[in-house]
Amino acid sequence: MEKRVLLPLVCAILAFWNVYVVKAEDAYKYFTWTVTYGTASPLGAPQQVILINGQFPGPRLDLVTNDNVILNLINKLDQPFLLTWNGIKQRKNSWQDGVLGTNCPIPPNSNYTYKFQTKDQIGSYMYFPSTLMHKASGGFGALNVYARSVIPVPHAKPAGDFSLLIGDWYKTSHKALQQILDSGKALPFPNGLLINGQTRSSFSGDQGKTYMFRVSNVGLSTSLNFRIQGHKMKLVEVEGSNVIQNIYDSLDVHVGQSISVLVTLDQPPKDYYIVASTRFTKTVLTSSAVLRYTNSQTPVSGPVPAGPTYEIHWSIQQARTYRWNLTSNAARPNPQGSFHYGKITPSRTIMLVNSALVINGKQRYAVNSVSYTNADTPLKLADYFNIPGIFSLNSIDSAPSGRTPYQTTSVMSASLHEFIEVVFQNNENAMQSWHLDGYDFWVVGFGSGQWTQDSRKKYNLVDALTRHTTQVYPNSWTAILVSLDNQGMWNMRSAMWERQYLGQQFYLRVFNPVPSLANEYDIPSNALLCGKAIGRHHP
């Protein structure tokens, strides 16, 4: 009799403990966000901006490793709308990536509930609109993923934590900018720079204490340099990688990139400039904020401290100092360096050459001579429902072929668990910034001129950091290594929004022909259907 009573009791305790552990490890966080138009004066004159829950920029999304996010997005704009979570890998879940190749846009006066997990990730990220030119009017915000309490962090806990969204800005509305691009012209030079949607925001801290500054370039097209007057910055994390903690006076942050620095308030108590300025531009735009010591009696004064302007070599040299901290863990207990990426032989090399060109009298941008056009049906849905005529695999070459430039919905195929080398070859005089959804990758080399097989001799195969967005300097190349361990349909794009809008992007279909929930989640029950997917039934 005693055993009969004890057994259900033990089972009940185990069941309770199991549920408790799951909940403790993988919390659920619920959000409801409403997207509307509003009016703000970021450069002094009133203009239309995109608000989330009445805020410009949008709410800061603070999460913890492995959190399950349930976010109901309500679209009150007059155009279809999507948010993408820049740098969140969406493990096995490209259904939630929030780009037009994976998701139907949310129609006006409708909603969609995103459901995704910050699986095995830490770091500073951002979200922004992926549709049309909405990003030019707002709808963006900071997204921070903090380590679980059981995972040691390779620095003391800061006294405070600031998110700074820096970026170029236009006084022109997103619809007017889109009209410029649709008419076949390039965008003009930006009107200014913003820090957190303003030209004079402020951040306060106590003398002697150390603060975290999480800096993301959420702009459309311009590389920026970031610095704090009179203060050194200790770089600690870059897009999910804990890095060797070097000290810098200023840091370049290219479009779509994020960094985290620690700053100790070790100067006399007064106000200091926080500065962002454009890089590699003939006209140098500058914006400033204020770092205010809490016991300050002295406002900022004098000229804003100058930063580098066109020194490309300076920027390359700085980029090469970014190194993985091999002994530190990131989101998981094992050290980052336990994955010896440099000892794996890539299965193949993909070379991607960007170009600016004219097709049918209009400005376009291309990759390997192919300028991407969006289909009326998301590629992920077309793939799932076997809808013909939306895209064809290998409609973009894995190396430049010299063919006549053309437009199509370009998709490159890859096998799950391939380990590949990708070379971004930039033969233009313009800076490039490349992003891959669903992954981070090892940035193993930068070089000038044309990449050759001999270029591999200069690769960093020991402690290159992983990140989701890399810069490619003018008339130069950047090489990355990628472990394709995340099945799905993934956007490879220029982070420069004009270039992506006019065709400098494609999709990488990472696939295993054997269906398995271990490799990829099933289509969400609430997936929006559009185009030729309308009327199709979820199984």
Per-residue model confidence as pLDDT tens for the chain (539 residues) = 444 444 444 444 444 444 434 445 589 999 999 999 999 999 999 999 999 999 999 999 999 999 999 999 999 999 999 999 999 999 999 999 999 999 999 999 999 999 999 999 999 999 999 999 999 999 999 999 999 999 999 999 999 999 999 999 999 999 999 999 999 999 999 999 999 999 989 999 999 999 999 999 999 999 999 999 999 999 999 999 999 999 999 999 999 999 999 999 999 999 999 999 999 999 999 999 999 999 999 999 999 999 999 999 999 999 999 999 999 988 888 899 899 999 999 999 999 999 999 999 999 999 999 999 999 999 999 999 999 999 999 899 999 998 899 999 999 999 999 999 999 999 999 999 999 999 999 999 999 999 999 999 999 999 999 999 999 999 999 999 999 999 999 999 999 999 999 999 999 999 999 989 999 999 999 999 999 999 998 76
Spatial separation of the C-alpha atoms in residues 381 and 386, rounded to whole Å: 8
Structure-block tokens of residue 502: 């006019």
| Structure confidence at residue 15 (pLDDT) | 45
| Structure confidence at residue 23 (pLDDT) | 44
Residue among 417, 397, 468, 451 at smallest CA distance from 87: 468
Please report, as a single letter, which amino acid is at residue 328. S
| Structure confidence at residue 22 (pLDDT) | 42
Do residues 351 and 451 lie in contact, with contact meaning Cβ atoms separated by under 8 Å? yes
Residue among 498, 437, 426 at smallest CA distance from 168: 498
Q: How many residues in the chain?
A: 539
Q: At 85, which helix (H) or strand (E)? A: strand 83-86
pTM for the predicted model, two decimal places: 0.94
Residue with structure tokens 């205010």?
292
Do residues 234 and 183 lie in contact, with contact meaning Cβ atoms separated by under 8 Å? no
Structure-block tokens of residue 220: 């459309």
Please report, as a single letter, which amino acid is at residue 344. I
| Whole-number Cα distances in Å, 32 to 52, 98, 105 | 10, 16, 17
Q: Which residues contact 501 (CB under 8 A, 6 or more apart)?
A: 132, 133, 178, 181
| Structure confidence at residue 410 (pLDDT) | 97
| Structure confidence at residue 6 (pLDDT) | 43
| Structure confidence at residue 254 (pLDDT) | 98
Structure-block tokens of residue 209: 């204490």
| Structure confidence at residue 333 (pLDDT) | 85
Residue among 304, 270, 263 at smallest CA distance from 284: 304
Cis peptide before 405 (omega within 30 of 0): no
Spatial separation of the C-alpha atoms in residues 68 and 93, rounded to whole Å: 13
| Structure confidence at residue 332 (pLDDT) | 86
The side-by-side arrangement of strands in the sheet containing 202-205 is: 202-205, 286-293, 271-278, 224-228, 250-253
Q: Which residues contact 157 (CB under 8 A, 6 or more apart)?
A: none
Q: At 117, which helix (H) or strand (E)? A: strand 110-117
DSSP state of 19: H
Q: Which stretches of 393-531 are DSSP H helices?
A: 497-501
Spatial separation of the C-alpha atoms in residues 169 and 136, rounded to whole Å: 7
